[in-house]
């Protein structure tokens, strides 16, 4: 039986790997509008303007692109230790580390596919310097006057060799609710969307056609409006950012989206899901069939060819 909702409050932050740290930092600060909030060794800490915590994204120099860590904030210290106990009972023991600025002890474990997940409670609330102080006291930082100006980190989409056990771990051990999924004609679950709160999703698992483990499909940032997505596409065109697909609307979760790539090789989604919330305590899991997903996105945009070629349904 899944634990009650609430022990994990929300998606906190992610650490991305990049073989071109300087170019990746420029993408996140100049194009997306994040603010640099410190450096340590080969890592740079960046934050979205409406994040109350120290950082939203860590960029770390590495030989390849990918995701190293996804951090989830617990709703209390007691909730943190309950989830730690449950991960150990589930046969996924981890380790305690204190290796991030502004964040207290993190319990680092992995999902069945090998993605590193860190659970924590202690968090230093961000205090903006004078040049970034907002006009409204209920806002942590002034809105950026450049770039897309993304509001917050919205979700992480993992690739997994087998979706179902990963979704089950996040649901049954960490307490997320699955809200939508794709079931193939064979009966296999090819993708699943899960949430820790009233947002319609925080974590997604998508089948990896290569059979590999621990890979990333994308991270996503939320914007204030759909128009921001259109502006992001124009800015990408003006600044040479590669657009993979969109702007368009997903059928699953109905998110208005744009997929781009940052220079280090990580896919980034810009999305506007802000008005769609899961408020019903008895929200039913919505299942999409293989035939339904062949129709493409909400307004008929076909899926990226590589997904069709290798038999994986479209994401979103």
Q: What is the pLDDT of residues 71-90, one digit of tens each?
A: 999 999 999 999 999 999 99
Identify the pLDDT of residue 276.
82
The pLDDT assigned to 170 comes to 98
> What is the model's pLDDT at position 6?
87
Looking up residue 242, the CATH number of its domain turns out to be 3.10.180.10
What is this structure's pTM?
A: 0.94
**Does 224 map to a domain?**
yes
Question: How open is the CA angle 21-246-251, to the nearest 5 degrees?
Answer: 120
User: What is residue 304's predicted lDDT score, i.e. its pLDDT?
Assistant: 66
Domain count, the chain: 1
Does residue 114 belong to any structural domain of this protein? yes
- Taking 50 as the pLDDT cut, the residues of the chain under it are 1-4, 305-316
Tell me, yes or no, whether 196 lies in a domain. Answer: yes
Q: Does 291 map to a domain?
A: yes
Give yes or no for a contact between 30 and 7, defined as CB atoms under 8 angstroms apart.
no
**Contacting residues for 117 by C-beta, under 8 A, at least 6 apart:** 69, 70, 71, 72, 108, 109, 110, 111, 174
- Any domain includes 1: no
- In a domain? residue 283: yes
Range of the domain at 198: 8-125+150-308
Is 315 inside any structural domain? no
Q: Does residue 243 lie within any of the structural domains?
A: yes
């Amino acid at each position: 039986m899944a634990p009650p909702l609430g022990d994990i409050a929300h998606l906190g932050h992610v650490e991305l790997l990049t073989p071109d740290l300087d170019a990746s930092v420029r993408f996140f600060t100049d194009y997306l509008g994040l603010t640099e909030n410190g450096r340590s060794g080969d890592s740079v800490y960046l934050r979205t303007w409406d994040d109350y915590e120290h950082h939203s994204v860590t960029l770390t120099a590495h030989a390849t692109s990918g995701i190293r860590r996804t951090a989830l904030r617990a709703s209390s210290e007691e909730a943190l230790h309950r989830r730690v106990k449950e991960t150990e009972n589930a046969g996924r023991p981890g380790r305690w580390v204190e290796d991030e600025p502004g964040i207290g002890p993190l319990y680092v474990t992995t999902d069945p596919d090998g993605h590193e997940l860190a659970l924590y409670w202690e968090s230093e609330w961000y205090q903006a310097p004078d040049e970034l102080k907002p006009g409204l006291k209920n806002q942590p930082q002034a809105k950026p006057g450049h770039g897309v100006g993304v509001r917050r980190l919205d979700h992480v989409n993992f690739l997994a060799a087998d979706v179902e056990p990963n979704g089950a771990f996040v649901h049954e051990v960490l307490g997320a609710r699955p809200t939508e999924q794709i079931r193939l004609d064979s009966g296999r679950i090819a993708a699943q969307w899960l949430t820790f709160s009233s947002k319609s999703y925080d974590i997604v698992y998508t089948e990896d056609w290569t059979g590999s483990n621990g890979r990333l499909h994308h991270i996503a940032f939320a914007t204030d409006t759909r128009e921001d997505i259109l502006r992001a596409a124009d800015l990408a065109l003006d600044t040479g950012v590669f657009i993979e697909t969109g702007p368009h609307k997903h059928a699953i979760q109905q998110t208005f989206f744009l997929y781009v790539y940052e220079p280090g090789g990580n896919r980034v989604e810009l999305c506007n899901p802000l008005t769609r919330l899961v408020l019903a305590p008895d929200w039913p899991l919505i299942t999409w069939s293989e035939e339904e997903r062949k129709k493409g996105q909400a307004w008929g945009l076909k899926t990226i060819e590589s997904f069709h070629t290798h038999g994986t349904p479209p994401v979103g």
